[in-house]
Structure 1
Amino acid sequence: MALHESLDPIYDQVVARNPGEVEFHQAVREVLESVGVVMGKHPEYAQAKIIERICEPERQVIFRVPWQDDQGQVQINRGFRVEFNSALGPYKGGLRFHPSVYQGIIKFLGFEQVFKNALTGLPIGGGKGGADFDPKGRSDQEIMAFCQSFMTELHRHLGEYTDVPAGDIGVGGREIGYLFGQYKRLTNRYESGVLTGKSGVFGGSHIRTEATGYGNTFFVKEMLSARGQSFDGKRTVVSGSGNVAIYTMQKVQELGGHVVACSDSEGYVLDENGVDVDLVKQIKEQERGKLAEYAERRRAAKYVPNRQVWEIPCEVALPSATQNEITGKEADTLVQNGCLAVGEGANMPTTPEGVRVFREAGVAFGPGKAANAGGVATSALEMQQNASRDSWSREFTEQRLEEIMISVHDRCYATAEEYGMPGDYTAGANIAGFTRVADAMLALGLI
């Protein structure tokens, strides 16, 4: 989609000021393609240079993370925290530990987080962080050593009213525990609201682990309902086999969907009888093994190496692994095979060309900043519990999550209708998130 002529120079400036950060460029362009129509209705946004300001992080921190491995060798990694926008509340967004992490990845994720958090309707700003550390194959002692060194630098930038990280790829309950322990040690304060995704034994939310997958499923349920359909009997394919994918599959099955496949970085499993989610959890979460082992233990299933799960015919596709995993080619295949709905459990897993293919084919497409907002929404609920020194039941927390995801869907749907793009959830999400942040920035003045 072409940019509005008034936005072309802004986008060119973003690219020039952030060379080589292709994921960030992609995220910015995707938002700018939607908000051109907003600028005509709101000349005050242009006057206050809201777009230029919203594309520039409020603060970026890059730091060295030295630690010692089990062989006594000193290792050096690079840590990042991008505090993107705090107009609506403290910076909120996860930490990613993965070798692919660099400044452009963190900025793209932080930029997306600003609008995702705004869509929840909760008082949270947007940020993101992480490190180019690979936790795969590392012992618990090595993970703890890295987390403690990482937090030793990061802690000075955090606070429950300033910046509240959570988990992301490579950062689960174990890592959050080590990070919080070091924060507590360094500050001599039990600020349980300074990190979310904590264990339930020290202030965590009952369904934070499940929240992103559950939330994505709730959002797709609403998209299907808007078309007079449901998950009941729908053949569903999920990419990934980590936290988001596992709990996406679990909730889809609870809602009557038939999940036949999931994947990892080396291939995919096809199980026509329905994926055994408990077995995937055992292999990936408890044994930290490879998905290929699933087919060895379940005779009816087969493991297909070095192929993508999107070649399997399905009615619902739920990308839950990483960015840019569905290109135009994969989107074409999904459409030709009868796909009706796509919900992005991961952050920006569909390329712009893939989004175009889905839009033109009339596929119900839930963009990540809306569909996977359940994780951060539940993090904000965890912050509420911590601030009130309270503990909520699992049932109450899941009910609140579903209510929030329904409101996110309805906000995107109504905004798309208002701006003459009915059914375009991408435009609806971008515009609704952008206008909420923009209005708050105007109210706060030039800061």
Structure 2
Amino acid sequence: MGKIKTDKIIENAIARDPHQPEFHQALREVLQWIVPYAAKHDKCNNPSLFQKLTEPERIIQFRVPWTDDDGKEHINRGFRVQFSSVIGPYKGGLRFHPSVNLSILKFLAFEQVFKNSLTGLPMGGGKGGADFNPKGRSRAEIMRFCQSFMNELYRHIGPDTDIPAGDIGVGSREIGFLFGQYRRLTGTFNGVLTGKGGAFGGSELRPEATGFGLLYFVKEMMDTLDSDIEGAQVLISGSGNVAQFACKKAIEMGAKVLTMSDSDGFIYKKGGLNEEDLQFIMDLKNEQRGRIKACTDTFDCSWFEGKPWQHGVEAQIALPCATQNELDEDDAKALINNGLTAVAEGANMPCTDGAVRLFHKNGIAFAPGKASNAGGVSVSGLEMSQNSLRLSWDAERVDKELHDIMHTIHEKCRENGTEDGRINYEKGAAIAGFQKVADALIAQGHV
């Protein structure tokens, strides 16, 4: 049997799909850890296994025709990447954003395979969306787009096949429109989508889950470092769902959240945001669809262009919660020079390869998104269970389940990633996620 080589797998992926840099980056990030692991375990040391691991089972692409409020006709591209169903039905979000393309969705779906494996729940990996920009669109326009998108997607999903959820640009409003159209088209009421409203099968704490889970994981990291999250200064990027609830939980834990951001810039509050500040931000972003700069007119904070990482702000914890590759090598240098202790990804792959290398080199605890932001899909999995049982659990039970899952993920990272007395979370998460998927691929044969 030939020796598996990371570079060869990447070369083959680039040859097949030369214009998918985000997907190639995601492959490198995982393969650098699991290929050496496989070389030491004969059952995994199989090139065919890695071919199946890195090639999606199915990719669906379709056009989405819709009409705006002025009667102008538009066409967008819709996608669903069904990457792996080897440990359960495809599970992963839908993203509506102009940047959406196959490279981004393949990277997200590939990451989702490992993230879902880490939760311990029976979920495979998938991702989808469209290059539609909801910013500035009316409620009626967004509803018409969601209905048109579902007119094709419904053929490919189901409660035991593929269960989408939300992501960037797809919140509770969009999930409601999508679910309504699915129900209309199929005449069925089932758990085909997660992130639903509480009135029609949604789970308690689903909106909060990713942000809350992120802080539960960070608390585990800080405990391991013999540091305290209470009183720690925290930089958060983004101001969407994940950033909002990460901020909320951080405040509850006694941390000082100094920043939040959007694509225009970021706000900085020296003494840390309080609950009233956060409530204003949530109303601004969720209801008014406004820009973060408006906070300066309401409470005492400063606004700056750019990202919060390079402005000389002293902080022990950085939580990038906006989008992929938002924190680069220069940002990492600035953070390290200003007292950084830990980084945990709230978004999917928000740190570049160069930034991650610097964190490792300087002994910074770094948690990849497949571990630290797995809280969202964990509660989605719990929502699936509740839908299947026709039951609804209270918030206390869901929160306990989420807490336990994030603790277990941290333990898996510790068990598989401890090196010289420190936890390499990137290595631990990749290997722990791979073990379950590899076992299932081997057991099910060459399919």
Fold shared per TM-score above 0.5? yes
Question: What is the deviation of 1:259?
Answer: 0.5
Q: Distance in 2 between matches of 1:307 and 1:390?
A: 43
Q: Residues 224-251 of structure 1: CA distance to partner in whole angstroms, max 9, x if unpaired?
A: 1111122110011100011100000000
Amino acid in the other structure paired with 1:377: S
SS in 2 for 1:49: helix
Within 5 Å, which residues of 2 pair with 1:151-166?
151-166=150-165
For the 8 Å contact 1:109–1:347, the answer to whether it is kept is yes
Q: Which of 215, 218, 227 is the equivalent residue of 2:216? A: 218
**For each residue in 1:87-118, what CA deviation from the matched residue of structure 2 results, as whole angstroms up to 9, or x when unmatched?**
11000000000000011010000000000000
Write the distance in 1 (CA, Å) between the matches of 2:293 and 2:433. Answer: 40
* Cα distance in 1, alignment partners of residues 410 and 146 from structure 2: 36
Q: How does 1:25-424 map to 2 (within 5 A)?
A: 25-47=24-46, 49-191=48-190, 193-275=191-273, 276-298=277-299, 300-311=300-311, 312-417=313-418, 422-424=422-424
Deviation at 1:41, TM superposition (A): 2.1
Write the letter of the residue equivalent to 2:327.
I
CA 1:21–1:228 in structure 2 vs 1: closer, same or farther (change >3 Å)?
same
Contact 1:268 1:309 in 2 (8 A): no
Shift of 1:420: 7.2
**Cα offset, 1:305, TM superposition:** 2.2
**Partner secondary structure for residue 207 of structure 2:** helix
Contact in 1 for aligned 2:237/2:307 (Cα 8 Å)? no
Q: Report deviation, 1:37.
A: 1.9
In structure 2, what is the Cα distance between the partners aligned to 1:294 and 1:43?
Answer: 57
Q: What is the distance in 1 between the residues matched to 2:289 and 2:5?
A: 50
Counterparts of 1:230 and 1:50 in 2: how far apart (Å)? Answer: 42
Residues paired across the two proteins, number: 441
TM-score normalised by length of structure 1 = 0.97
The CA RMSD measured in Å over matched residues stands at 1.3
Q: Which runs of 4+ in 1 moved over 3 A?
A: 306-310, 419-422
Q: Supply the AA of the counterpart residue of 2:147.
A: Q
Contact 1:262 1:309 in 2 (8 A): no
Q: Deviation per CA, 1:331-373: give whole Å up to 9, x if none.
A: 0110010010111000000001100111111111110010000
Report the alpha carbon displacement of residue 435 of structure 1 after superposing the two structures with TM: 1.4
Other structure's SS at 1:233 match: coil
Task: Tell me, yes or no, if the aligned pair for 2:309 and 2:334 is still in contact at 8 Å.
Answer: no
Answer whether contact 1:15 1:25 (CA < 8 A) is retained: yes
* Residues 97 and 135, structure 1, Cα contact 8 Å, conserved in 2: yes
Inter-partner Cα distance in structure 1 for 2:310 and 2:444? 45
Cα drift, residue 15 of structure 1: 1.1
Q: Write the letter of the residue equivalent to 2:373.
A: N
The 3 A distance-change label for structure 1 pair 421 and 16 is farther
Per the TM alignment, residue 6 of structure 1 is displaced from its structure 2 partner at its CA by: 2.2
Using the TM superposition, give the Cα deviation of residue 58 of structure 1 relative to its aligned residue in structure 2, in angstroms: 0.2
CA distance, structure 1, for counterparts of residue 239 and residue 82 of structure 2 = 29
By how many angstroms is 1:302 displaced? 0.9
SS across alignment from 2:148: helix
Stretch of structure 1 that moved more, 420-429 or 151-160: 420-429
Query: Aligned equivalents of 2:328 and 2:170: distance in 1?
Result: 27
Q: Which residue of 1 aligns with 2:19?
A: 20
Cα displacement string for residues 20-42 of structure 1 (whole angstroms, at most 9, x for unaligned residues) = 10000000011111112212222
CA distance in 2, matches of 1:58, 1:432: 22
Seen in structure 2, the aligned counterparts of structure 1 residues 307 and 11 have a Cα distance that, compared at 3 Å, is closer
- Residue segments in structure 2 that go unaligned for 5+ positions in a row: none
Query: SS state of the match for residue 376, structure 1?
Result: helix
TM-score by length of 2: 0.97
Q: What secondary structure, in the 3-state scheme, does the structure 2 residue paired with 1:160 have?
A: coil
Whole-Å separation in 2 of the counterparts to 1:265 and 1:296: 19
Alpha-carbon distance in 1 for matches of 2:308, 2:397: 37
Question: Once the two structures are superposed, what CA deviation does each residue of 1:259-300 show, in whole Å capped at 9, x if it has no partner?
Answer: 1111110111011132221111111112111101001111x2
Q: Does the CA contact (< 8 Å) of 1:263 and 1:309 recur in 2?
A: no
Does the CA-based 8 Å contact 1:235-1:259 persist in structure 2? yes
> 2:261 touches 2:307 (CA, 8 Å); kept in 1?
no
Identity of aligned residues (%): 51
SS in 1 for 2:86: coil
Q: C-alpha offsets along residues 181-239 of structure 1, whole Å, 9 cap, x if unaligned?
A: 00001111111x11000001111011111111111111111011111122110011100
CA–CA separation in structure 1 for the residues paired with 2:250 and 2:335:
19
Cα separation, 2, equivalents of 1:28 and 1:264:
28
Partner of 1:429: 429
